[in-house]
């Protein structure tokens, strides 16, 4: 076993061992039967995984050591597959698509034999392998059907790429799909009653969803002659074509100068005016989450136009400020009233983000504890006709009035509800998921123009206060929906408070998941949990999950 594979196995073993240690500490009388059974199953699975894990890793190619980008990998995969077909003399057409992922390459049924033989030559030592689906319903490795290729309807070409720590980086989105289309004879009726031209290539796969389902001979020959890329004359109406930026807010709670400013302001607070969680240190702790969040952006959201990092005069030591996509923005550049500074309240800082110079109309606001875990597209956050999307939670909102006893996020949600009732004579009952927040700059400017008093009050709120509004992360979505500029949508996400009792077990579950668009790892450590252990646990997970440094980071020798 090489060092990379050993690291991967060790990581999972360590998590399982920690679960067992925690159970022993709890004692037999405290640990529930369900928890014991869960850990027992996980241990059994760990041993069952090890051999397949080693075998799979031996078949994988190496991912780039810096700047992993799933979109670039998908483009490279398509280039390799199409060049392979070209070298074998197989004609093909790549269907138009809205993004780089899962492109569909069409070959004629008369070319299947040569196509299969060519695809079987893709280098296994570089991580390539192919699966086939047949008209008979059988599925399996492509090599199994090489003696009867005419039955193959669809081929999925995949290239497995691993980081040096053994983490498998590729997902199903980078796979290349090969479809075999029928070549129609004379007098084949179209769905509209007319006849297809003889020699038309027609799709045989039953699932709908592609933009083109048949190609007349003239279009086929013309497209093949121009490299095989079939393009629509204009972008699709549903496609998001305008630039989309990302905005982070970031703070280094260990910075001595920043802590001194915070202590001075905190000392002036009147006792009982804010919830105790508004000033706890865990709210301002930095574990380099931003570094890993940026790695996830480059890997799975490289469609971003520009990234703005809003700070209180701070810059991460590892950040590559020379990167053309990165701009660090100081609070003084965006606060309308500079006398409100310094502030240590995310609600106040968020209320001013739309003032960032050069910010695009469409942008996504996210905290540094949010990570993309698989390839995404701007359409996850915006519509092609200019609406933003939002992701309501099923969790209900307490119907009581806001008070200092409420957690700041809850009191702000109640203030948001009061705002909506006063402004629109409508109410709301739900919270929001801990996800990225799509924003339209023009809508926030309109909100501020019409409700300047509320914006000014929030901006001058030094610490999270029961009177705060949470503008970008909640109120904006309701307001934009009320005026017809936003729609509710869905996103695959998970939220974890790393201070929860079963954190090791939950991390192990997250490690195995491949179905999440985003993950939020929050820390609400108010119970005095071992902060050093929480830090180590999160860093270990993030380093395994996102091991490849991004181009947003300085090289090691420059730090």
Is pTM, for the whole model, over 0.85? yes
What's the whole-number mean pLDDT along residues 426-452? 95
Provide mean pLDDT across the span 202-206. 89
pLDDT digits (tens, 9 = 90+) for 132-191: 999 888 999 999 988 888 889 999 999 999 999 989 999 999 999 999 999 999 999 988
Sheet containing 370-372: which strands, arranged edge to edge?
Answer: 370-372, 518-522, 493-497
Place 380 in a pLDDT band, splitting at 50, 70 and 90: very high
Q: 137: phi > 0 → left, psi -120 to 50 → alpha, else beta; which? A: left
- 369: nearest Cα among 557, 523, 534: 523
Q: Which pLDDT tens digit goes with each residue over 80-112?
A: 999 999 999 999 999 999 899 999 999 999 999
Q: What is the pLDDT of residue 558?
A: 72
Closest to 293 measured CA to CA, from 247, 336, 239 = 247
Take residue 480 and report the two structure tokens written for it: 């934009």
Q: What is the pLDDT of residue 529?
A: 64
User: Max CA-CA distance within the chain?
Assistant: 87
In a 3-state reduction of DSSP, which class is residue 198? Answer: coil
SS3 for 66? coil
CA distance 287 to 532: 11
Where helices occur in 163-255 by DSSP H, the ranges are 217-225
Compute the average pLDDT of residues 304-312.
97
CATH class of the structural domain 244-558: alpha beta
Cα separation, 254 vs 331, in Å, equals: 18
**For 506-522, how does the pLDDT look when each residue is reduced to its tens digit (9 = 90+)?**
888 898 899 999 999 98
């Amino acid at each position: 076993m090489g060092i990379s594979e050993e690291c991967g196995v060790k990581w999972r073993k360590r998590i399982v061992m920690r679960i067992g240690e925690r159970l022993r500490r709890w004692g037999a009388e405290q640990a529930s039967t369900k928890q014991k059974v869960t850990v027992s199953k996980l241990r059994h699975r760990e041993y069952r995984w090890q051999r397949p894990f080693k075998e799979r890793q031996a078949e994988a190619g190496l991912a780039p050591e810096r700047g992993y980008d799933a979109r670039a990998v998908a483009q490279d995969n398509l280039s390799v597959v199409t060049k392979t077909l070209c070298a074998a003399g197989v004609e093909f057409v790549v269907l138009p698509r809205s993004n780089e992922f899962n492109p569909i390459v069409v070959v004629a049924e008369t070319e299947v034999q040569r196509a299969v033989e060519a695809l079987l030559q893709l280098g296994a030592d570089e991580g390539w392998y192919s699966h086939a689906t047949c008209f008979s319903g059988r599925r399996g490795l492509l090599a199994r059907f090489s003696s009867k290729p005419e039955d193959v309807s669809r081929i999925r070409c995949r290239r497995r790429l691993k980081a040096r720590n053994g983490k498998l980086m590729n997902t199903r989105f980078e796979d290349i799909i090969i479809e075999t289309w029928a070549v129609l004879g004379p007098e084949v009726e179209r769905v509209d009653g007319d006849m297809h031209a003889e020699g038309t290539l027609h799709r045989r796969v039953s699932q709908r969803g592609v933009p083109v389902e048949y190609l007349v001979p003239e279009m086929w020959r013309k497209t093949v002659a121009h490299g095989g890329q079939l393009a629509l004359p204009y972008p699709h109406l549903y496609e998001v074509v305008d630039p989309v930026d990302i905005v982070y807010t970031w703070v280094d709670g260990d910075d001595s100068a920043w802590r001194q400013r915070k202590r001075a302001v905190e000392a002036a607070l009147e006792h009982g005016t804010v919830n105790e969680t508004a000033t706890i240190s865990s709210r301002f702790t930095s574990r380099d989450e931003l570094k890993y969040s940026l790695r996830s952006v480059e890997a799975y959201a490289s469609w971003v136009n520009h990234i703005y990092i809003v700070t209180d005069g701070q810059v991460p030591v590892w950040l590559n400020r020379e990167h053309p996509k990165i701009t660090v923005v100081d609070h003084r550049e965006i606060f309308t009233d500079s006398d409100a500074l310094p502030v240590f309240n995310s609600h106040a800082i968020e209320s001013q983000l739309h003032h960032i110079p050069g910010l695009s109309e469409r942008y996504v606001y996210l905290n540094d504890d949010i990570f993309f875990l698989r390839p995404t597209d701007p359409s996850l956050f915006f519509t092609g006709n200019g609406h933003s999307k939002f992701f309501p939670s099923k969790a209900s909102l307490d119907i009581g009035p806001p008070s200092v006893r409420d957690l700041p996020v809850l009191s702000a949600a109640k203030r948001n509800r009061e705002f909506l009732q006063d402004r629109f004579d409508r109410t709301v009952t739900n919270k929001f998921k801990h996800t990225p927040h799509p924003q339209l700059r023009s809508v926030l400017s309109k909100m501020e123009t019409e409700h300047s008093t509320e914006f000014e009050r929030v901006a001058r709120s030094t610490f999270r206060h029961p009177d705060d509004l949470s503008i970008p992360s909640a109120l904006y979505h309701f307001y934009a929906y009320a005026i017809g500029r936003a729609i509710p949508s869905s996103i695959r996400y998970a939220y974890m408070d790393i201070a929860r009792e079963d954190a090791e077990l939950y991390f192990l579950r997250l490690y195995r998941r491949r179905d999440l668009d985003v993950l939020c790892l929050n820390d609400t450590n108010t119970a005095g949990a071992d902060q050093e252990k929480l830090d180590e646990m999160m860093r270990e997970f993030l380093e395994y999950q996102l091991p490849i440094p991004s181009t947003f980071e300085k090289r090691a020798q420059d730090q």
